[in-house]
Amino acid sequence: MLPNHNPSLTPELRGRLAKIRHLALDMDGTIYLGNNLFPFTTGFLADMRNAGIGYSFLTNNPTKSVRDYLLKLEKMGIHADEGNMYTTSLAAIDYIKETYPAARRLFMLGTPSMVSQFEKAGFEACADDPADRPDVLVVAFDTTLVYSRLCRAAWWASQGIPYVATNPDRVCPTDQETVLVDCGSLQKCIEHATGRRPDIVLGKPDPTMLSGIMHRHGLRADEIAMVGDRIYTDTAMAHNAGATGVLVLSGETTLETAQKVAEDARTNPHPEFFPPDVIVRDVRELGDLLLEAHQGK
């Protein structure tokens, strides 16, 4: 257990967890960190399957296509298929097709793997050329970022092109001694240069991905838990969808930060963030609580 951290099963928490039939699992910082699978992940997933609790993998990280994510999980020893995955690239594709049905050409700040996901969906990637005017600007977490392309994205933002951002994350969690600048920070860079914000920021905390999982599996909001390591995306999405929000302390958010958010929510009628419903050390601790709650049903 962690200091000042006791996720024991109170009657209220037991009743809440006993209703959970499906887990929406964040990936980086929750089931692995960087390229390292947490040692407890495979056992946790097996226990959930054996208990009849389903799960889906959600990620705000659009750097990999669904195929590449499935290959990464397979190499880590996690077997999944496309029905288990929902990324912000897919959310952006769905949004653009619905909102701009005539759009075909996109200028994208994104990795080649992400661009391939859009091309698979029927879109074309525009070149870094002022004559190659896109229908939509897409800004994502781009680990292959080239300065001239960032400048071109800012140019198209300044020209009023429809502007979609895949996710709000400021940084991506990592086990390396560096800071991985994520999509939210790129948005701020473009905003500072041009005054333009995205027309929409998809991904967590927007509840669309969680609502899609509930629809796919025929779930009520009280039957799904969103599990992740970030208050401003993962548990915020749970709150926005009316689901249970579970914060794991294996990634970005510290216990001290979570306690500050909880204190702000108690004293501020309009808090910036809502505290998670449950705080656990990691998914293994969550799994133990779920098994205990379900055994008492």
Contacts of 80 (CB under 8 A, 6+ apart): 57, 70, 73, 74
Taking the CA of residue 225 as centre, how many other CA atoms within 13 Å lie in the half-sphere pointing to its CB?
A: 26
- CATH class given for the domain over 101-201: alpha beta
Residues 163-174 have a mean pLDDT of 90
Task: Kindly indicate the confidence band of residue 1, based on its pLDDT and cuts at 50, 70 and 90.
Answer: very low
* Residue 244 confidence (pLDDT) above 80: yes
* Token pair recorded at residue 211: 């609502």
79-92: per-residue pLDDT in tens?
999 888 988 998 89
Task: Kindly indicate the confidence band of residue 3, based on its pLDDT and cuts at 50, 70 and 90.
Answer: very low
**What pLDDT is stored for residue 2 in this prediction?**
42
Terminal CA-CA length for the chain: 25
23-55: per-residue pLDDT in tens?
999 998 999 998 899 999 999 999 999 999 999
Residue 236, SS3?
Answer: helix
* Residue 177 confidence (pLDDT) above 50: yes
CB of 275 within 8 A of CB of 231?
yes
Q: What does 200-221 look like in DSSP terms, one character per residue?
A: EE-STTSTHHHHHHHHHHT--G
**What pLDDT is stored for residue 158 in this prediction?**
98
Residue 132, SS3?
Answer: coil
* CA–CA distances in Å: residue 44 to residues 59, 80, 154, 275: 19, 15, 44, 24
**What pLDDT is stored for residue 140 in this prediction?**
97
Task: Kindly indicate the confidence band of residue 193, based on its pLDDT and cuts at 50, 70 and 90.
Answer: very high
Please tell me if the domain spanning 11-60+204-295 has the same topology as the one spanning 101-201: yes
> What CATH number does the domain located at 11-60+204-295 have?
3.40.50.1000
* Residue 208 confidence (pLDDT) above 50: yes
Q: What residue segments make up the domains of the chain, in order of their start?
A: 11-60+204-295, 101-201
CB of 154 within 8 A of CB of 194?
yes
